Amino acid sequence: MVSRYGYRSGFKEYSKPVEVGKEYEADIIEMSRRGDAGVAKIRGFVIFVADAKPGEHVKFKITRVGRNFATAELV
């Protein structure tokens, strides 16, 4: 469950649904606030995909996984 403090519930930290270096596919649902990346979600976890646009179904590779989000590049 995602809480306002990050991807956790209570004191137990859950594993992230994505890993650095792995490839995934998802729909881009919106643009980031800065406008430089599309936003996708996998199991509720936010992924910023560089150079992706809303409405696209894209394949991407995870480049960084943070506490609340991940970044990725198109494959």
3-state secondary structure of 66: coil
Q: Quote the number of domains for the chain.
A: 1
Segments forming the whole domain that contains residue 32: 17-74
| Predicted local distance difference test score (pLDDT) of residue 1 | 52
Question: For the whole model, what pTM was predicted?
Answer: 0.81
| Predicted local distance difference test score (pLDDT) of residue 44 | 96
- How does 40-72 read in b/e, with b if 16+ C-beta sit within 10 Å? bbeeebbbbbeebeeeeebebebeebeeebbbb
- Tens-digit pLDDT string for the chain (75 aa): 555 555 555 555 568 999 999 999 999 999 999 999 999 999 999 999 999 999 999 999 999 999 999 999 999
The partner residues of 12 in beta bridges, in order of sequence, read 9
CATH code: domain of residue 22 = 2.40.50.140
* Interstrand relation of 23-27 and 30-31 (parallel, antiparallel or unpaired): unpaired
Residue 35 maps to a domain: yes
Residue 39 maps to a domain: yes
The partner residues of 70 in beta bridges, in order of sequence, read 47, 65
